[in-house]
Amino acid sequence: MTPEQERSWDMTEVQPFVVRLFGAARIDPKVYDQVASDPAATNQAAVVVALSALAQAIGGPERIAIAEIPIALAWSYFSWLIPGTLVWLVAVRVLKHEADLPRVLRCVGFATAPQIYWLLGLLPIEAEAFRLAIGVVVFMMALVANVIAIREAFAVPTLRAAVIFAGGFLAFALLAVALGSILATLGGFAPA
């Protein structure tokens, strides 16, 4: 039986998108549970990913030019779909948990919501310590949000969700190293 079949989900509890967005940014487990069970939230997850990328692009440590925003958005979708799929593969194929891929991607997409706090970088505070503090807080919140999202997507305990997250991160790191090696090898044979 899948986690979706185990949980009864009442449509009267559906929250507006903005409430979900800020609930996910606060790392409210109820929001992640609701998103996991709501197939209509997949498009909302895609919007959260885009908003998070824009917040980082305009308020983050490496602000980008307007012309670079499409590249930042493309990278954010890549950074959502590939690691999210790897998390799902590790959990389902290796650790034998059950959840469908869209359910996992919805939750992991909403787990990017804490990146909205990069907008604090727009405050007229030039202190390097302030920007570093924002980065540390956003990073830590993103880690916690991902574990909570995975916990709700697979309906597992928090420690098990952390193991799934670590397995997915390791798979992504190995894939990145392999692709980097292949590209470096191909780059070494490029004509001058």
Q: Per the structure, how many domains does the chain have?
A: 1
* Residue span of the structural domain in which 94 resides: 3-188
Rounded Cα–Cα distance for residues 109 and 77 (Å): 9
CA distance 13 to 24: 16
Instruction: Tell me the three state secondary structure of residue 127.
Output: coil
**pLDDT at residue 25, as a whole number:** 96
pLDDT of residue 60: 84
User: CB-side exposure of 179: number of CA atoms within 13 Å?
Assistant: 6
pLDDT tens sequence across 74-83: 999 999 999 9
Give dist(CA 138, CA 132) in Å, integer: 10
* pLDDT tens for each residue of 89-98: 999 999 999 9
CA pair distance 24, 110, nearest whole angstrom: 6
**Joined tokens for residue 104:** 């996992």
pLDDT at 159 over 60: yes
Q: What is the reported pTM? A: 0.84
15: DSSP letter: P
**Average pLDDT for 32-45:** 95
